[in-house]
Every structure is written in structure tokens, then in C-alpha cells.
Amino acid sequence: MNLIALPAFTDNYIWMLHDGTHAVVVDPGESAPVIAALDAAQLVLAAILVTHHHADHVGGIDALRPRLQGPVFGPQRERIPEPFVALSDGEQIDVLGLRFEVIDVPGHTSGHIAYFNAGGAGAPILFCGDTLFSGGCGRLFEGTPAQMHRSLSRLAALPGETRVCCAHEYTLSNLKFARAVEPRNRDVADYAAWCESRRALGQPTLPSSIARELEVNPFLRVADNAVAQSARAHGADSDEPVAVLAALRQWKNDFR
């Protein structure tokens, strides 16, 4: 099974999973990169997975329907281009012979979902849209800090080897912030150096892994004393994880 990040727009990734004959794509905000990849490898588009309703994740769906020989899957509680199969927490879908579990992860949007495969294609795979980024998390456009904390906690509990397939190349920007939060975290410094070398070669920093994110991502480290202390210096009124996350998210919104 092949996992490919197709660049789209300026910093999006459309994830493609294929077996050499059939392919699935995740969050196709535009159609051209998908069509080019399908044609280059002579693949049949078997399904589309959607994590949330934002235009840069759904904008290419209708243009891909003539190539699609299967369903569009998406979150039940969001408006996705019809027709689509509406999914909610705990449901399972089978694509390319792989079973994916649906996980509700509200916060970035109110009905955001993620797709988790426990390992039929090698290491486990997580398609998490804009909820979890490498080194960061999505802005709270529709949800609350408490919702985002619960969502990130659910993802953080997945196996450490899980490949984290985020939808944006935000890693270096996120790690700049992570270093401000934890200037003494050597894992952050080492990972930033590796990511800089990848980007210098024009390569993606993704997928990450759950184990790596637990080492470097301040939004998964809200119970750490150093992270909480930094959050208190930037508006958190307690060391309670939701308060820490809320302060970190506001700090990150304004961080340059």
C-alpha cells in the first residue's frame, strides 16, 4: 500500500492511499493534483474521505465525481457536497481492503472527524485533517478549548507508531512556537533541524507520528509543568489542561 502527500494550494496536502490499481484520497480541496496523480499511475479512484467542511478540503469533490467509482465519506454533522455517506463517532468503513474507524474530533470545526486504520497497511494511519498538526493544532473556528483538548487527548492515546497525516505543511511554523513554549526541549530542536533539512530538499515533513508529537507538540503536552508555566505567563488562569490549551491557542494565534 502506498501513501502519498499530494501538494495543493500553497500549503495543503491531499493524502492519497493506493494499492497500485485503486486509490483513495482525503480532503481533496482541488481536483487537479488528484487527477494528475491518478493519470500518472493509471489508478481508479475508489473513494474520497472528508474530515470537515472547509473549502480547501472539499472544493475538488464535484470535479472528481466523473472519475469516482465509489462513495464520498464525510462527517454527519457538517455540510459536505452531496451526495455523501454521513459518518459519526465509532462507525467503521472499508476502503481498499482496509478498515478505518471514525473518531469525532470537534474543535477546529464543530463536526470534524478523523479516520484511523489500526495497521492493515503497515503502521497505523491517522487522517486527522486540521485537528492535529505536527507541532500544533487547528484554530478554534467553531469549537471550544475543552472540545479540542478532548479531541487531541483521543488522538494522543492512539499507538505511538501511528502515522499522523495532517492536511497542512505547518510544521516549521509550529515548531518555532513550540520552541518559544519549551525552549529547553531538545526533542523540539532536533525535530526542527530534521524538518528544515526536509523542506530544503522540497520534501514534506509529514507524516509525523503520535510518539513524536507527544515529545514536541505543546498542545499534546498541556500537563507538562514547563508547558503549563509558559501558558500561565501568557494568560492561563490555572494549570488545568483546558486552561493551558486555551492560553496556548490564543498565544499561537498572535505568534509571529
Backbone angles phi, psi at 158, to 5 degrees: -70, 165
Q: Residue 184: inside a domain, yes or no?
A: no
Give the three cell numbers for residue 179. 520552541
- Given this model, what pLDDT does residue 256 score? 83
Annotation marks residue 149 as catalytic: no
CA dist 50 and 64 (Å) reads: 13
Annotation marks residue 168 as catalytic: yes
Q: Residue 78: inside a domain, yes or no?
A: yes
Q: Residue 34: inside a domain, yes or no?
A: yes
- Given this model, what pLDDT does residue 121 score? 63
Q: What is the mean pLDDT of the chain?
A: 97
Cis amide linkage into residue 81, ω under 30° from 0:
no
Annotation marks residue 112 as catalytic: no
Cβ atoms of residues 130 and 153 within 8 Å: no
Exactly one of 27, 104, 130, 149 is catalytic; name it. Answer: 130
Q: Residue 149: inside a domain, yes or no?
A: yes
Listed as ranges, residues in the chain with pLDDT below 70 are 121
Annotation marks residue 237 as catalytic: no
Q: Residue 104: inside a domain, yes or no?
A: yes
The structure's pTM equals: 0.97
CATH number reported for the structural domain that contains residue 132 in this entry: 3.60.15.10
Tell me the residue range of the domain where 88 lies: 2-174+204-215
Q: Residue 27: inside a domain, yes or no?
A: yes
Exactly one of 18, 56, 112, 149 is catalytic; name it. Answer: 56
Q: How many structural domains does the chain have? A: 1
Residue-wise pLDDT tens digits, 112-149: 999 999 987 689 999 999 999 999 999 999 999 999 99
Q: Residue 133: inside a domain, yes or no?
A: yes
Exactly one of 18, 57, 112, 149 is catalytic; name it. Answer: 57
Exactly one of 54, 104, 112, 149 is catalytic; name it. Answer: 54
CA dist 136 and 217 (Å) reads: 6
Q: Residue 16: inside a domain, yes or no?
A: yes
Contacts of 5 (CB under 8 A, 6+ apart): 13, 14, 15, 16, 165, 204, 206, 207
| Sign of the alpha-carbon dihedral angle for 130, 136, 139, 145 | positive
Exactly one of 52, 53, 112, 149 is catalytic; name it. Answer: 52
Annotation marks residue 18 as catalytic: no
Exactly one of 18, 108, 112, 149 is catalytic; name it. Answer: 108
